[in-house]
Amino acid sequence: MNARPLTIAGSCLVAALLAVPGCGETNPVADVPSSLDAPAADGGDRDAPGSGDSGPERDAPLAFDAPAASDAPVELDAPAPLPDAPDLPDAPPGMDAPMLPDAPMLADAPPAMDAPMLPDAPMLPDAPMLPDAPMLPDAPMLADAPMLADAPVRPDAGPPMPEFCDVVYAVGSGACASATETGRFHTIKTGLGASNAYYDVGLNCTSPRRGSGTPVSVATPFTPSAFPRGYVRLRFPASGGAPAAGAVQVIEYYLPLEFTVSTFGTMVSTDVDHSAGLLRTSGTGCPAGVTGCLTGVSDSTAPSLDRRCAPVASGTLTGTSLAWDACPLSPPAPFLGTSGTPSSAQLTWTPALSQDTAASPGCLTNLTSWGGITCTAGFCSAVPGLGAATNITWDQRLPTMTFSSTAYGAPGTTLTLTEFIVPDDASDVYSGAQIVTATAVHVECGAAAVLTCDEN
């Protein structure tokens, strides 16, 4: 390669960095002939660099140093230090970038106008109230299944509960137009207008009245429809489902008395009802010495029914005879027959004398007489008891009762109660009653608690 000055424009800085002499000067090293210059290829000598040949001077190629002999290493000279790079002139101070005018201040946005208030939406009228849905009627309650009657309860480890048989004995039968009355009432009147007669009784055909001229009706619970005839209800011990002998009790007693007495043109009609165990009686508000009476009653206010279905007298039945338990009353013996005159004792046996203050079991308790007496012709002014309803209560001692057979409840069996004296307030009148026959018409058996009193 030929060595030459580095004169390429723009390469001075590069030359300086390569430790080359100043730009445009001759390289002194390149101009020294080198023994290493090789001969020209054609055998001629090339001009040594720096010869005076005309033409442009061409630098001889730099001879490369031959490699040093390996036996004596040649110490290479340290390369000459590179000259400091020439200081570059300071760049002219940069012009400040022109100040851009501040961006114009945007005017504050005008405050937003409040949105105009919209008028409140008109209130819609309330929706009309719909009528309540009609209430559906409750589903009909199903009727409870009928309760089966409980079997009689027997206490554990004890005797069985006693059972009884109630027998109803009718006094009379048939319709009033063709009545068969098997009760009898005996009345005797002494003195003026004396009379002595028996009257068949036992049917309840009319409602009671009292007074003379225009009679006054007397209110009563013993209407012909409810109590058409007289009867006696007795309670027997039960044996094999039938009434038996032993302790017997009177539960109810009813005897209607309807008859008319005619003496010397004076017509007196009696319409009263004798009963025990059927009406509500009171122990207060009674006349002195009377243990029970009907209170709060009048022509228009009838006594109240009170069928307690409980004993009102008791006795012992042996065979066909029923003898009553103890009763302290001592009434006179009855006056029998239609001739003669009763004794003073028989004529003065009053209700006040026939009261059992000891409530003895053998007395028929609180036998009452309720109804009225009317006089329709004759000497009515001489007839007592016309001015008010008949209202008398007493305790009755009964005669022995007799049965027609020991089949006490069998159809056709009868009982008989002979005449007994009935107390009367009048001092010239005798009264007696009896049951000629009363026939068994109804039987029911069971514990006392299940027996009912609803038959007449």
Report the pLDDT value the prediction gives residue 160, as an integer from 0 to 100: 74
Residue 363 · residue 397 · CB < 8 Å: yes
Residue 384 confidence (pLDDT): 84
**Tokens encoding 49:** 């660099």
Distance CA 370, CA 388 (A): 11
pLDDT > 70: percent of the chain? 65
**Least trusted range by pLDDT, from 25-29, 86-90, 306-310, 427-431:** 25-29
| Res. 204 pLDDT band, cuts 50 70 90 | very high
Q: Is it the case that residue 57 has pLDDT exceeding 50?
A: no
Q: Grade residue 59 by pLDDT with cuts at 50, 70 and 90.
A: very low
pLDDT digits (tens, 9 = 90+) for 357-369: 999 999 999 999 9
Exposed (0-12), middle (13-18) or buried (19+): which is 28, by Cβ within 10 Å? Answer: exposed
Give the model's pLDDT for residue 340. 93
Q: Quick check: pTM over 0.95?
A: no
User: Closest Cα to residue 422, out of 388, 456, 389, 399?
Assistant: 399
pLDDT for res 265: 85
CA–CA separation, 363 and 420 (whole Å): 13
Q: Which residues pair with 129 in a beta bridge?
A: none
Structure tokens at 1: 């390669």
Per residue in 184-196, pLDDT (tens digit) is: 999 999 988 789 9
Q: Which residue has the higher pLDDT, 257 or 126?
A: 257
The amino acid sitting at 311 is: P
* Tens of pLDDT, residues 417-439: 999 999 998 889 999 999 999 99
The share of the chain scoring above pLDDT 90, in percent, equals 57
Partners of 151 in beta bridges: none
